[in-house]
Chain A
């Protein structure tokens, strides 16, 4: 158990819809990173939040957005879903102080039809 939870575990949406994925970090972890993992690929960095501000972004379009809240929870929002958005979405939390480990959640598997 990493202490990081994600919801929902699975989700099916249709093209053009919007989705919100949620992550609850370990208490005290003020950095959360979101990753997209397509089938058979390694995770790709979407963005990172530190103390409720975006602090780094990967090569993802603006329709991928996020929020981080003071209670160590965060959201990933994706608008105008496309078929290629089908993937496993992982969040990882850390203390943001160069600590030893990032703690990953179990992921949300999104299928866009």
Chain B
């Protein structure tokens, strides 16, 4: 079983829809990252969470440590949000920056 699993694998939605991407994990973590990867490969860090909720513009990320689950929400989705969204786990060892990645959710927003 993978340490981190994302759902759905692929998501297609109309512009303006509310989007939810889920991430479940099975190990102890010190933090969870949400990352965005556009075609061509570049990865951008969206959030790093260790508890609660963070918001940046139309993006909201939540984490429930007890349930080992995190969600990324996009409000008023736009075609430029089309990308692969990846959650990645940061382990418990202080000073170890290794991230364990999910396989990503490919989001396509149709105008």
A binding-site residues for B, Cβ under 8 Å:
2, 31, 33, 35, 37, 40-45, 48, 50, 55-56, 58, 88, 90, 92, 94, 96, 98, 100-104, 106-107, 109
| CB-CB nearest in chain B for A47 | B98
- A96 and B98 contact, Cβ closer than 8 Å, known pairs A101-B45, A101-B48, A107-B42: no
Judge whether B97 and A33 touch: CB under 8 Å.
yes
Question: Can you report 7 residue pairs joining A to B where beta carbons are below 8 Å apart?
Answer: A35-B101, A42-B86, A42-B102, A43-B101, A101-B48, A102-B99, A104-B45
A50 to B45: give the CA distance in the assembly, Å.
21
> Is B29's beta carbon under 8 Å from chain A?
no
A37 to B104: give the CA distance in the assembly, Å.
12
Q: Which residues of chain B are within 8 angstroms of A58 by Cβ–Cβ distance?
A: 98
Interface of chain A: mostly helix, strand, loop or mixed:
strand
> Is B95's beta carbon under 8 Å from chain A?
yes
B binding-site residues for A, Cβ under 8 Å:
30, 33, 35, 40-45, 48, 86, 88, 94-104
A29 to B37: give the CA distance in the assembly, Å.
22
A-B contacts, CB under 8 A, total: 66
Q: Could you tell me the distance in whole angstroms from the C-beta of B77 to the nearest C-beta in chain A?
A: 22
A44 to B99: give the CA distance in the assembly, Å.
8
Q: Which residues of chain B are within 8 angstroms of A50 by Cβ–Cβ distance?
A: 95
Judge whether B103 and A104 touch: CB under 8 Å.
no
Judge whether B41 and A96 touch: CB under 8 Å.
no
A64 to B43: give the CA distance in the assembly, Å.
22
Judge whether B94 and A98 touch: CB under 8 Å.
yes
Contact among B40, B41, B97, B102 with A102 in the assembled complex (CB-CB below 8 Å): B97
A35 to B97: give the CA distance in the assembly, Å.
12
